[in-house]
Amino acid sequence: MSLRCDTVLVKLRFADIDAPEYRQPGGRQAREALVALLDNRRLVVETRATDRYGRRIGDILVGDEKVSLRLVSQGWAWCGPRSARTCRSRQDAARDARRGLWQDAAPVPPWRWREQHPYRP
């Protein structure tokens, strides 16, 4: 038996990119950019792995495009250390065009921001 479901809540960490934390400079704008990319669109979620905390890691596709690569192209995310050349070239183009986070002369990568602002529940 198969069911069609129009709405499913899935919590997913993007594979191969890192975006600013919500309270970090640029974090709200990055989230707004993500919402604009996903809003009222048919999505495909591809889970690649589960991390040690039980969180899904993967990709979201709108059509045949990875949303994570679009965020990088718009300048709202950094490529991860193991990202493909495609991601790196999009990041370089966003930086050169000073899009998104790259409007700041020295944007702070999220991994550095998290080191300086440890999570306290």
> What are the residue ranges spanned by the domains of the chain?
12-114
Residue 19 to residue 36: CA distance in whole angstroms? 15
pLDDT exceeds cutoff 80 at 91: yes
Q: How far apart (Å, rounded) are the C-alpha atoms in residues 115 and 93?
A: 27
- Give catalytic residue positions: 13, 21, 55
Query: pLDDT tens digits, residue range 23-74?
Result: 999 999 999 999 999 988 888 999 999 999 888 999 999 999 999 999 999 9
Class of 12-114 per CATH?
mainly beta
Residue 101 carries which DSSP code? G
